């Protein structure tokens, strides 16, 4: 039962079973799960066909236990390391005015839980995903921003609105400049209230505090929310990846909640 995989209600496959994730790493079946609490991280991974288990425990919250599990697995099973194309751009000074039009907020394709901000502070350029850390960028030309160490390249595309092409970890995604959604207090008040999940028989409460919207649930405690779009919110704590508001007309009557274990769990506003 624990290893049983059920599809979503729309028939799409799901790799999360009853408490464990089941997938593959380099053609090897893997059963795994991670854990975290206040500065600590853990990861347990089993390769049933090899009767081998790898466990990492750390008190370093940004240690990247998932990546380290993969490195250990490569050694145990003599798998070739995953090669990420290296970047080797040289820094060249350009007139900041020539690229200032690209400073702003971008929607990144196939990413609906984060924006990418590109901005300048004291003549230094940074990029920052919603909820992430800022990364310093350098200019290779008036159309390329980069940082060789994490392997980030951002190509600036002249268009209206401005577009970018971001390369990171071997993946390339397109971004389009947008105006960041900034809700008014009256918009947040429409969200505030008590919500009930008939499926899980659990309650969430959402409320305003110091001009921001917060949520509370008995297990997760209090968590701050950020509005990405009119009907899309994310949790800054990571307990909820995405919230999609359900409306009848303009009135909020519920929400669909998703995280790494659940997709579109319906909460009804009471």
Q: What is the CATH number of the domain that holds 126?
A: 2.40.128
How many alpha carbons fall within 13 Å on the CB side of residue 141? 8
- Residue ending a domain, among 57, 83, 109, is 83
* Phi and psi at residue 102, to the nearest 5°: -95, -5
**Element (DSSP H or E) covering residue 72:** helix 65-76
Question: Is residue 79 one of the residues assigned to a domain?
Answer: yes
Same domain, 198 and 263: yes
Residues 140, 218: Cα–Cα separation, whole Å = 50
pLDDT of residue 81: 65
Same domain, 146 and 169: yes
Question: Is residue 91 one of the residues assigned to a domain?
Answer: no
Residues 197, 181: Cα–Cα separation, whole Å = 28
pLDDT of residue 60: 78
Rg of the chain in Å (alpha carbons): 22
| 34-66 exposure pattern, b = at least 16 Cβ within 10 A, e = fewer | eeeeeeebebbbbbeeeeeebebebeeeeeebe
Same domain, 104 and 49: no
Same domain, 137 and 154: yes
Question: Is residue 88 one of the residues assigned to a domain?
Answer: no
Number of domains composing the chain:
3
**Cβ proximity of 138 and 145 under 8 Å:** yes
- The alpha helices in 46-184, defined as continuous H runs, are 65-76
Question: Is residue 245 one of the residues assigned to a domain?
Answer: yes
pLDDT per residue of the chain (270 residues) written in tens, 0 to 9: 788 887 777 777 778 888 888 988 888 999 999 887 767 889 999 999 999 999 999 987 667 788 888 889 989 988 776 555 667 899 999 999 999 999 999 999 887 778 999 999 999 999 998 877 899 999 999 999 999 988 899 999 999 999 999 998 778 899 999 998 899 999 999 999 999 999 989 999 999 999 999 999 888 789 899 898 899 998 866 667 889 999 999 999 999 998 877 788 999 999
Question: Is residue 109 one of the residues assigned to a domain?
Answer: yes
Same domain, 194 and 261: yes
Same domain, 63 and 32: yes
Domain around 16: 1-83
Question: Is residue 219 one of the residues assigned to a domain?
Answer: yes
């Amino acid at each position: 039962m624990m290893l049983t995989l059920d599809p979503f209600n729309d028939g799409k496959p799901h790799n999360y079973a009853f408490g464990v994730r089941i997938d593959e790493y380099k053609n090897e079946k893997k059963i795994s799960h991670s854990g975290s609490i206040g500065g600590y991280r853990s990861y347990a991974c089993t390769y049933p066909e090899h009767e081998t288990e790898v466990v990492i425990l750390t008190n370093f919250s940004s240690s990247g236990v998932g990546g380290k599990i993969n490195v250990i697995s490569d050694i145990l099973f003599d798998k070739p390391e995953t090669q990420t194309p290296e970047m080797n751009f040289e820094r060249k000074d350009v007139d900041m005015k020539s690229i200032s039009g690209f400073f702003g907020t971008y929607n990144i394709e196939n990413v609906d839980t984060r924006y990418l901000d590109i901005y300048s502070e004291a003549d230094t350029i940074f990029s920052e995903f919603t909820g992430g850390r800022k990364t310093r960028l350098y200019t290779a030309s008036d159309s390329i921003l980069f940082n060789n160490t994490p392997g980030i390249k951002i190509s600036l595309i002249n268009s209206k609105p401005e577009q970018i092409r971001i390369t990171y970890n071997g993946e390339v995604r397109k971004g389009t400049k947008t105006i960041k959604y900034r809700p008014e207090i009256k918009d947040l008040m429409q969200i505030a209230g008590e919500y009930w999940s008939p499926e899980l028989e659990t309650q969430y409460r959402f409320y305003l505090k110091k001009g921001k919207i917060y949520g509370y649930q008995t297990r997760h405690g209090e968590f701050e929310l950020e509005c990405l779009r009119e009907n899309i919110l994310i949790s800054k704590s990571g307990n909820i990846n995405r919230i999609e508001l359900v409306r009848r007309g303009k009135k909020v009557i519920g929400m669909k909640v998703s995280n790494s274990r659940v997709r579109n769990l319906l909460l009804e506003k009471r």
